[in-house]
A and B are shown apart, each in its own frame.
Chain A
């Protein structure tokens, strides 16, 4: 790349040219140092089933809150509301149960090393 630069750089005056090359090299060296400098790296982990379930729990709860709100705003009939609430609560309960089970089975501490 430096060679390529020198080919391109046929500066009008010699001093300006060597200054430019100096700046370019300095910039490149700084960049390479930045990239390969050893440092603390973030450990990329696979997402666990547990954290997925927590996400889902949050969403299901949010949907339930929203259902309550829409009901109070008068958009749902009583029958629709109670049947939908039942099915959504069932969904939430399943998620909560699985969370409980995983946490019980594995123990929270093990998760850290997983």
Chain B
């Protein structure tokens, strides 16, 4: 272990962080919207819709992300029809292939998390909403989804962490994010241990910040689980009297 070499390595690896951030944020943002839609489709009373959603989730949860990245990048480009289509300007670029693979993958996992959240909304809350005259989309928007998302947040935070780590697979389709750069430095220096220790620390730090952020959001979203300001004081006062 050579601290000076590790410091130099850190400087080079950090250059991959912006790409990592882009991959994570873009695929999580699109993936989240898709996940909500898929979860709603999965719970839809329309059988074909529900089955299509279930099939999609089955496929993307049941196959390794590595295989999905390969199939989307190297697989699709094998078809001349695709190379001639309007999609090619996007699929030609490794960046968009990675975004596509990551988005479809995270949406599949996310949809199951959100479905669980929706199904865990207490029946009483929905009944109360119905009693207040809400139904359909309004009920979903005002009552079900907010509660469901709050319930799903801890599990979804997990998925976000997995996504950060999954970006390391982008290096196999020539994208130079942190792991890609790490491989390159190793190929130049053959010092695998030091480089991977630094690369691992970068992921660790990013995920540390991410878990803090998710915790903070959880705290904001659950004021009802905390005591009201001054509550403890009042209780104590009541006991004294």
Are A and B part of the same complex?
Answer: no
Residues of B within 8 A of A (CB): none
